[in-house]
Amino acid sequence: MRPRTVLLALLSAVGVWGAAGCHTCRQTEISARPPCCGDAGTSVSGRLVPVPSPYGARPYVAPEGPSQATYLEPLPRRPLPGIDRRESARLPSTKEPPIVNVPNKTDPKTEDEPGAQSAIDLPGFAIARPGVASGIQPFPDGITWLKNKGYKTVLHLTAPGDDTTAAKRQFEAKGLTYTSLEVSPARLSEEVYKKFVEAVEDRESHPLFVYDKDGSSAGALWYLYNRVELKNTAEKSRAEAQRLGLRPDEEGEHATMWVAVQALLKKLKS
């Protein structure tokens, strides 16, 4: 083979791989080519394209070597299914979604309805019987709420020896009548129970709010009231006592009070 022919063959081979670059980025080195196949939503495919002639417009067919090169060419861009590119570029809306009424669902209670006071101001608040509510020691805003709702009297169930001066001052400052009754497992007697019944059934003092420090004393007396005065079953009375604060299965003051209640109930029924 003549030297000129060999030289032309070598130039043709170099031209094939050097000129057959990506038609988008024009990079001829495979390692240097950027990912120019589009963004998300763009597919790529292999395509055979003619190798540009190293001699410009004059056609030339190399005696040896490939006449075509393969590289990746971006396909036409198509949006991903279900995605609106215009919407995806928008900032999220700060507006609250509209409130939709759900069928068969009642609206939440408002403060204008009975028994709807926030548990933060009146912990454990519950209606025990018509005209009488029960709960745990209220906060100042809870006392204000009781006054605004027309409550006249409070019955504070205290432990023996407790100082009730501050509590009395708070309620009387709001115009409510303050009364107290000492209750404890050791002093849970028939006399204490009768005083409780007298206060609960005194309609002149209604609406009445009964409360203690943790629900144990109030729940215990409400259990006795349901068993003795209302003649409810033991199961129903226990459920009411638990609803109104007593936790018989809990260790400590509640368990001790539950034992004292059972002992007094035997005396009251004898």
* H-helix segments, the chain: 3-19, 85-88, 140-148, 165-173, 190-200, 216-224, 234-243, 253-269
What is the DSSP code (8-state) at residue 6?
H
> If pLDDT is split at 50, 70 and 90, which confidence band does 121 have?
confident
> If pLDDT is split at 50, 70 and 90, which confidence band does 255 have?
very high
How do residues 136-152 score in pLDDT, each as one tens digit? Answer: 999 999 999 999 999 99
- CB 123 within 8 Å of CB 152: no
Nearest alpha carbon to residue 138 among 209, 221, 243: 209
**At 255, phi and psi to the nearest 5?**
-65, -40
- CB 138 within 8 Å of CB 211: yes
| Residue 68 or residue 141, greater confidence | 141
Structure tokens at 249: 């299965």
Quote the pTM value. Answer: 0.58
Domains of the chain from N-terminus onward: 3-74 (no CATH), 126-269 (3.90.190.10)
